Structure 1
Amino acid sequence: MSSPLPVGKFYGRGGHRPKLGVCGDDSPGVVPFPCKSILSDPDTVRKVFTKQDDLLNYTRGKKLTPFVFESKDDGRRFFMASDPRVFWHYDTQRQPQHRHTYEVIREYANCKLYFDLEFDALLNPDKDGVRMVRIFVGVVMYFLKKIFGVECGESDVLNLDSTTSGKFSRHLIFLLPDAVFRDNYNVGNFVKFVCEKITNLAYLKIVDSKGRENLFCDTAVYSKNRHFRLYKSTKYNKTASLELAADNKFNRAESELEVFLCSLITYTEGCEGFRVLEFGNAPGNPKLGAVSRNPVHREPSPFPQIDRFVANLVLPGHIYRSSYFPTRDTIVYDIVGNRFCGNVGRQHKSNNIKYVFDLSRAVYCQKCHDPDCSDYKSEDLAIPAELIVDRGDGAGVTGERGVASDQSRSLQRFPSFGLTDSEILGAYNSLDYEKNDFYYHHRQ
């Protein structure tokens, strides 16, 4: 790893100290106010690198956040490791027009749900961006509740704005009450799913510079080690900084520093013990199936009686996760701690087993993750009679609180989200995701 650069690169070459009470400057000859009485050493350490890999290697295992800043002279990007409170202390002393700063959303780091919403205002003169954001937030809340059981309100959404006369631009950061996402790959999977489900919401669609029609949500900001612009920052050679939106209703921050900390995507201090939400697989992540270091609350499936039955069936093992496929009326339970496979008549050495419950036929079977047993399926066994209720067709399995499974899965009426009846009409079918091959995914 190359040696870090002096932090003076962040501000320019030093000289005299600015007068007390006057905002610092990154021009030559000006030294920033030192960081005192914020944190004790070594947390006040800041190091600057010319290569991102060196930054990420340095911050690995440390309570430091990786940041990026652009040179005011040529826009070249440098990388800084710092505690975010220390970074804010110094960044606020730079001239506003020179604050070109970003957070590095580290690969595989737990993170908040975030969005980049934008469109060319000149190409979309009929679009009301403020209303579009309000509708979009409502849609996201709907799916958070429907998929994860997570409830939040507009006061949990930090709404940042850098709109100009030519471009509408917002960043939304959801600070969920008791949950964070596994990483930004899982966030991206969730966001893309939501966007697919609302593709018929014409009011949220815009025309881009190439004449294509798209949703105004940018789905490209969930890539590896993504740079995401910071609160109060501008892009190089631009003048619009990222500020609190006029319609922002987030109410948890009492200072500018607290707004900044809340806006950081991977800053999850105070989230210990929160649920870790997953949605699909991250590309090339060998650790995705590992148990989270953060405790994950046990989440019941729509069929707690089945959960309890399986939990007893696999002792001394336990359920790692359950995946419910509504269109096939099937639950798949992945098991850890018990690898007994009926195909080989013994425990596998390394590969786990799973149980598949076909609720429509009231039967279950054992399958296996071992490559040699990939085609194996045990004989069907009857789901115990006490777990079955009559759904009118002579079969069925009880759902939560004894409600029949077809009733427990019935889709709620499509909420209005502030749309007119005619705008809703074309959206209902696409939002009815339970008609698609989608599953509920619960970590146990």
Structure 2
Amino acid sequence: MTKLSNTANSKIKVEESWRTEEKENDTPKKLSHGIAPKGFHRKRDKEDSSVVKVKLEKLKGDIETSVLSQGMQQHALSLETKRKAFRKKTTLKSWPLQDLAMDHLDHLLGKNSSQQFHGGDHLLSDSSSSMESMEHNKRRLSPNDKAKTATPIVKQETNDEEETTTTCTTDDITTNMNEPLWSREPRIFATEKSQGKRKYIVGHFGRVADWYWRKANSKHLYEVIREQTPCRLYFDLEFSKTYNTDIDSDQLLLEFRQELAAELMTHFEISLDAQQIIDLDSSTDAKFSKHWIVDTPNCLFVDAPTVGRFVKRLVSRLADEMATGHLAQRQPELAKHLFVKTKEENKTSCFIDLGVYTRNRLFRCFASSKFGKKATLEVSRSNKYPLQLPPKQPPKKNASLQDYIAANDWEPHARVLAKTLVVPLSLRGETDKPSKIRILRVEEQAEMFRQYKGAGRPRWNERHNRPVPIRTSASPVPSLDEYVNTELSSRGGVQGSIRVWSMEFGPRDVPVSITYQLNKNRYCELIGRSHKSNNVFWTIDLASWTCIQGCHDPECFGRGTPTPIPADRLKPMQEELQQWEEERFEEALLALNLEETDDNTTKEDEEDATAASTDVITSESSSNLKADDQVDKEEVDNLLSDDAILDAVLSNPELFP
């Protein structure tokens, strides 16, 4: 017993020492006294309701995500099915050379359909933005979510060639033929791959539009305005802001539009307002640049060179009225800045680019930029033509199905691209009957010469019935020759010289102008570069002492900027011309024999009577004339009619500047 009691006491002491040590080292924890059963069950009920709510919200979100994913997948598969069916009936290829591309276009148009046609690089457009977005969403889903969306709502059928769906047929594409995105009209475009290097794209327009908006990351697309193809009236308007700081561009364009409307009404009886002009802008801080495409209802020009003749005729009229001062009274801003300053000192150019009307011309498309440039061709802030382009926005993380469908709807984009083409797209109407298109024609330079003969044309464009002698010697105004050699023949950075000159006379044998044909310098102010084979000339109007440049290129009808001769060089020219006229008058007086006036008159009367009788005899026996009969030169001149002389002038324009 004693041992047991001792053992128990020792255990008690050990426990007490441990408890004492625990109290010294640690703070005692509070013990829970428990809760009432009623409170315990009430707390469990609250926890159950919150958990159930969270689970329900999660389940609802999973269901919405699953339905949204299936809807996106269904829409993406439907779009891809349409595109696959459309690609089966269409083509899209690229070519390194324009001639090959033109042959392919002719093949699509059926001009050489009987021949085998191969080659070209296919532009792949199998993957769509909607499919890529769907795959991106799939990568973000969890494995459980993937399992929920693995089976799409759309049932699929598989054949040996390619996978299709039953939700879309070719009839759906046929009903959308009015949409440019599904157009099967063959077209040709060009795209820049590097500075000065291009590739040509040929295919049906729907394929081009689909590739352009969905696949082309860097957009450098140009429309090829093919020769002998009806097109709209278009303009390339540009000038340097650095050298023309005082131009009010809005007022300048307003006055130019008014003059353009007057020109269309005068020649074609076509009215024009601001709502018919597609106004595209690619201006920068250093350069003003705009494209105007005029959408006149059911009216097209024959081709691009015809548009060029119309524009050059307009510019020629404006330049004439500017020289006479009439344009400044009516359109002061246009008269002041029709010809704008350039980086070359003392050189101006028309702010209307007259070099964009050549055959097979490339014209930049909407939303494209030049290679190496950032400025894209966008809708101008002053545009009043109805264009609606929804912004291209990728689907948001929590986007609705409607937002997803709108973000992948490329029909509005293709529609805007089609509306901004110079050669409009031929879409089917509701009755499948094409509207009657009025073709506008502008006569060639020769026809315009006949039309304006003696009708008050500009003095520097006048032609006279009398032959104009071409001379290689010095002109009667040597100081003017020197000015042409030193100043006018060095335009464009190339030093030229006078090849020949000629003087034109007006009524009463008064000198009107002197024309200098240049040698070694073919720089043309109308196109801003040198011609390859056509020479240029300068005409000096002796009444206003202004110099006007022209060229022998039939596509450059019109003249350059009227350049006045500086006042410090004008006085010796006027004195030399006056002295030459006085000497010429004195020579005429000395050649006149007043004593033989009566005898000469009688002799002339007898010669006229003889000539009249000779005409009668000749008309009766003209068949008996021999081929080697010699005819007097004066009689030949009398036999030549005005039309014969006119034809000779038109056949040899280089001899009659």
TM bucket normalised to smaller = 0.5 to 0.7
Equivalent positions of 1:318-333 (< 5 A) are none
Q: Does the aligned pair in 2 maintain the 1:158–1:175 contact within 8 Å? A: yes
Instruction: Tell me the alpha carbon deviations over residues 377-428 of structure 1, each in whole angstroms, 9 at most, x when there is no partner.
Output: xxxxxxxxxxxxxxxxxxxxxxxxxxxxxxxxxxxxxxxxxxxxxxxxxxxx
- Change in Cα spacing, 1:37 to 1:105, as seen in structure 2 (3 Å) is same
- Change in Cα spacing, 1:39 to 1:240, as seen in structure 2 (3 Å) is farther
Corresponding residue of 1:383: none
Farther-moved stretch of structure 1 (61-70 vs 118-127): 61-70
Corresponding residue of 2:342: 208
- TM-score (structure 1 length as normaliser): 0.53
Asked if 1:82 corresponds to 2:203, the answer is yes
Offset at residue 177 of structure 1 (A): 1.2
Offset at residue 34 of structure 1 (A): 6.4
Instruction: Tell me the alpha carbon deviations over residues 220-243 of structure 1, each in whole angstroms, 9 at most, x when there is no partner.
Output: 000111111010000000000000
User: Of the candidates 295, 300, 305, which is equivalent to residue 180 of structure 1?
Assistant: 300
Work out the CA distance in 1 between the residues paired with 2:440 and 2:104.
Answer: 28
Corresponding residue of 1:274: 437
Corresponding residue of 2:359: 224
Looking at secondary structure, tell me which structure has more helix per residue. Answer: 2
Equivalent positions of 1:313-352 (< 5 A) are none
Offset at residue 279 of structure 1 (A): 0.6
SS at match of 1:177: coil
Offset at residue 198 of structure 1 (A): 1.3
Work out the CA distance in 2 between the residues paired with 1:78 and 1:35.
Answer: 29
SS at match of 2:82: coil
Offset at residue 129 of structure 1 (A): 2.1
The total of aligned residue pairs comes to 260
User: Of the candidates 374, 379, 383, which is equivalent to residue 248 of structure 1?
Assistant: 383
Work out the CA distance in 1 between the residues paired with 2:284 and 2:231.
Answer: 28
- Change in Cα spacing, 1:265 to 1:282, as seen in structure 2 (3 Å) is farther
Corresponding residue of 1:128: 248
Offset at residue 258 of structure 1 (A): 2.4
Work out the CA distance in 2 between the residues paired with 1:122 and 1:86.
Answer: 41
- Change in Cα spacing, 1:192 to 1:74, as seen in structure 2 (3 Å) is closer
Corresponding residue of 1:93: 214
Alignment RMSD: 3.1
Corresponding residue of 2:188: 66
Letter in structure 2 aligned against 1:85: G
Corresponding residue of 2:99: 53
Q: Does the aligned pair in 2 maintain the 1:35–1:86 contact within 8 Å? A: no
Offset at residue 273 of structure 1 (A): 1.5
SS at match of 1:170: strand
SS at match of 1:36: helix
Offset at residue 93 of structure 1 (A): 2.3
**Which has the greater radius of gyration?**
2
Corresponding residue of 1:335: none
Work out the CA distance in 2 between the residues paired with 1:35 and 1:101.
Answer: 27
Work out the CA distance in 1 between the residues paired with 2:240 and 2:219.
Answer: 24
Offset at residue 127 of structure 1 (A): 1.1
- Change in Cα spacing, 1:39 to 1:260, as seen in structure 2 (3 Å) is farther
Q: Does the aligned pair in 2 maintain the 1:175–1:262 contact within 8 Å? A: no
Work out the CA distance in 1 between the residues paired with 2:308 and 2:435.
Answer: 22
Corresponding residue of 1:342: none
- Change in Cα spacing, 1:196 to 1:325, as seen in structure 2 (3 Å) is closer
Letter in structure 1 aligned against 2:415: E
Work out the CA distance in 2 between the residues paired with 1:252 and 1:324.
Answer: 40
Offset at residue 89 of structure 1 (A): 1.5
Letter in structure 2 aligned against 1:79: Y
User: Of the candidates 241, 248, 259, which is equivalent to residue 416 of structure 2?
Assistant: 259
Offset at residue 116 of structure 1 (A): 0.2
Q: Does the aligned pair in 2 maintain the 1:43–1:83 contact within 8 Å? A: no
Looking at secondary structure, tell me which structure has more strand per residue. Answer: 1
Offset at residue 64 of structure 1 (A): 1.1
Work out the CA distance in 1 between the residues paired with 2:220 and 2:87.
Answer: 27
Corresponding residue of 2:223: 103
Offset at residue 261 of structure 1 (A): 0.8
Work out the CA distance in 2 between the residues paired with 1:160 and 1:39.
Answer: 34
Instruction: Tell me the alpha carbon deviations over residues 284-334 of structure 1, each in whole angstroms, 9 at most, x when there is no partner.
Output: xxxxx9xxxxxxxxxxxxxxxxxxxxxxxxxxxxxxxxx9669669xxxxx
SS at match of 1:78: strand
Letter in structure 1 aligned against 2:251: R
SS at match of 1:92: helix
Letter in structure 2 aligned against 1:86: R
Work out the CA distance in 2 between the residues paired with 1:143 and 1:275.
Answer: 17
Offset at residue 43 of structure 1 (A): 5.3
Q: Does the aligned pair in 2 maintain the 1:163–1:240 contact within 8 Å? A: yes
Consecutive unaligned residues of structure 1, counting only runs of 5 or more, are 1-19, 22-32, 284-288, 290-322, 330-429, 431-444
Instruction: Tell me the alpha carbon deviations over residues 160-204 of structure 1, each in whole angstroms, 9 at most, x when there is no partner.
Output: 000000100000000101210000011000000111111222233
Letter in structure 2 aligned against 1:203: H
Work out the CA distance in 1 between the residues paired with 2:88 and 2:343.
Answer: 48
Q: Does the aligned pair in 1 maintain the 2:298–2:435 contact within 8 Å? A: no
